[in-house]
Amino acid sequence: MVHMGTKALLKCPPIPSTKGRSITWKVTNGGRSTCIMPYTIKQCQIQHPQQLQHPQQLQKTQSETICTDKRITWAAIPGQCANLQINTVALEHDGSYSCDIETPEKNFRKEYDLQVLVPPKVAMFPGGNGTAVCEAIAAKPAAQIFWTPDGDCAAKKESHSNGTVTVRSTCHWKQNHVSAVVCFVSHSTGNHSLSTELNRSTTSSLQSLLTILYVKLGFLVITLLTVGFVFFQKRNEFRK
């Protein structure tokens, strides 16, 4: 596992370079595409590995697709140029990598299953009426969300096309004494905690509005009854 944005060094089998004939890295990114990076032991034995030619110039006769991602290079370390280095790991580097070394006696292989970890973007906000929402956005793998104090909580997951997952947890507290809550986001890249005060003003405002409405409606009914009573009184006096 490797964090997105960092460097990754993948090593070939520890075979003496004098015994090898050729080295080939095979890269399969997420099962979508496969490419190779081949070169000979003689090319690896130059004093400055960073001067190695681009693999497309080394073996143009290969039938396989040559890797063209410039972020994937030979390790610029004397004596270790057979190793593969990813200078800035991105989400698309998630996949399998294998190093094959050919020798006169037999062939050697070392395989890697590279899993790129993507940290979540975290957010939290009150939802009103004793409710709060906590989000762990676009993480790989999916993050986990916990609350304190415990409430009536429900989580939903949304998978994205790039392999990341957004988790959204909504929690409700019926107790009026719960005024502040904490959301814990747990992930392989690190943990986060966020807090917020519960917004119960929506319920209070609605109750206040209904009270005012009832009072005004009561005054209106009393006023109408009074006006009606006076009207009928005057009408009866007029008839007399």
Instruction: Of 85, 111, 83, 108, give the one whose Cα is nearest residue 20.
Output: 108
- pLDDT score of 51: 42
* 240 vs 26: CA distance, rounded Å: 113
Q: What percent of the chain has pLDDT over 70?
A: 66
Q: Residue 58 pLDDT > 90, yes or no?
A: no
Both tokens assigned to 195: 């807090």
**What average pLDDT does the chain have?**
78
CB 64 within 8 A of CB 35: yes
* Whole-number Å distance between alpha carbons of 161 and 168: 17
Any idea which of 74-78, 81-85, 107-111, 230-234 has the lowest mean pLDDT? 230-234
